[in-house]
Every structure is written in structure tokens, then in C-alpha cells.
Amino acid sequence: MNYLWDRMTDFVQVLVLRARHGEEDAVVALHEDWQRRLRGRTNGYLYGELFTRPNDPSTFISVARYESEEACRAAADDPEQAAWYSRLVSLLDSKPCNVDLRSAWRCFEDAAASPAP
């Protein structure tokens, strides 16, 4: 295999979410709603992913990657994003645990998977 090792400056926001019992599907649907309604207005957003634990479907990990911390903060300051987040929190047992991270290293399997410099 040909691996490309790269240092990145991306900014990643990770949320640990605990859905109220019976609201698991609503958490997923709300993320799908975000993709349809808000994705296009979120400059600097690269991608997101929502994970759940196989043995605990009420626990989610939401990962959103942005070009920069500034892009992430701009998205958070958008009133429609804030309303979406409030709706998300209403589906949870408690406020999400938020972890902000900078990418320090990434491995791509081939150069075609690597973003342009």
C-alpha cells in the first residue's frame, strides 16, 4: 500500500450525546435535517459523521470537521445553527460534552484521497 502521511490544520468538533429514551431516531433525523437545510450555508465545513455505540444506541458521537477554527465558530454564531443546536439539546438527557480538536496527523491510503495543498 502507498500511504501519504500529512499534517493538517483542520479543526474538529466532537460532541458526545446521550439521547433521551425513545429519541434516538430523532437525533439521527435532526442530523439529516441539518444536512438538507444548513449544510449549504456553512462555509468551511468539510464533513461530519454521527456514530453510535453498538451496545448502547442512545449514546452518539458527532464529529464535524472544518477548514479552520474560525469556520467552526462562524457556523456556531449563525442563528439558524443555534436554533438547530437547541433542538438537538431538547432530545438529550443532558447537555452535550463538547471537545474541540486540531488535526495533528492524518494518514491517507493514496494521494488521490488527500486534499489539495
Residues of the chain with pLDDT under 50: 1-7
pLDDT single digits (tens) 59-69: 999 999 999 99
Beta bridge partners of 74: none
> What's this model's pTM, rounded to 2 decimal places?
0.81
Yes or no: say if 48 and 58 are a contact pair by the CB < 8 Å rule: no
H helix runs in 1-117, sequence order: 24-37, 69-77, 79-90
Using CA atoms, how far apart are residues 61 and 97, in angstroms rounded to an integer? 10
pLDDT single digits (tens) 81-96: 999 999 999 999 999 9
Structural domains of the chain, with CATH: 4-104 (3.30.70.100)
The three cell numbers locating residue 86: 437547541
